[in-house]
Structure 1
């Protein structure tokens, strides 16, 4: 049985982590206590956003897919902006993370590219790239529009 993915809550939680990271890195905290945890959380958000995007790209039939993609694009943009602030050392703690700047640049580029890709996905027509419109036959309509059975029993009695 496949587990249900709660895209809204997952994206919200990752956004909350980014806000907390920004608040933490804005403080003058001691690197020997917090550097490893902050770096771990940055890579956790990076991985989480990428995994959610991969899941949304695979599942074209989610009812609220467009909404999830919009929220994810916003989250990826917020994260990329945060990474930009770190890379430009605009935040007090950022200089303590300089050994990770190469990985942060790569992550930022990936998320910005994903944001552009998401915008293209949302702008294109729904029935492209192999997606076909569902077609329901006349017989399927008749079956779908049948009464739940209570009237069918009365019809059968009337026929007899």
Structure 2
């Protein structure tokens, strides 16, 4: 029979879970969407790669249907604690990206001139060092 946990061990465990929950709530969360999913592979791949890049605080398996509009995602964002949107749109001449801050923040518009997908970068490497948990930690740590 194993030993039971002491009172201090139980308190420490509960306290650690509480601190982790507070830290998770203060970190910005994001949605990466393409409002009208295109049939072209490159635009879908760009959206998927940006989701992987923005991990772990982004919705990675967000399904977008033709009937969805931006208002639907904004309605979902409140209860889920989403603070930023990355919205990709494709026109015949270019790919555009909008970066929005919720709930009343500014919206920035960018034209994507040139980009490389993750698979292109990996294929150009001499040694392919990709592992499953590569994107599970935030890539940049910023201190204030």
Bigger radius of gyration among the two: 1
Fold shared by both chains (TM-score > 0.5): no
TM-score, normalised by the number of residues in structure 1: 0.26
TM-score, normalised by the number of residues in structure 2: 0.28
Identify which of structures 1 and 2 has the higher relative contact order when contacts are C-alpha pairs closer than 8 Å and 6+ apart: 1
Which protein has the bigger strand share?
Answer: 2
Which protein has the bigger helix share?
Answer: 1
